[in-house]
Amino acid sequence: MALYAGLLLLTMSAGLVRVLLGPGRVDRLLAIQLVGTSGTAVLLVLGEWLGFV
């Protein structure tokens, strides 16, 4: 489970880099959507791993 959370955090960080350096508005918007979706997934994975879900 920790591996999955780490991979999701890696995709979130790549999305944040894309938000900061993205060439266009559409790229930045899609990266923000990726960050939000990945953040929700990280919370679900960590909740399952820690026994809260």
> What's the rounded Cα separation, in Å, for the pair 24 and 39?
23
Residue 23: per-residue pLDDT: 87
Percent of the chain clearing pLDDT 90 (strictly above): 72
> What's the rounded Cα separation, in Å, for the pair 10 and 35?
10
Instruction: Return the CA Rg of the chain.
Output: 13
DSSP string, 13-47: HHHHHHHHH-SSHHHHHHHHHHHHHHHHHHHHHHH
- pLDDT tens digits, residue range 13-37? 999 998 898 789 998 999 999 999 9
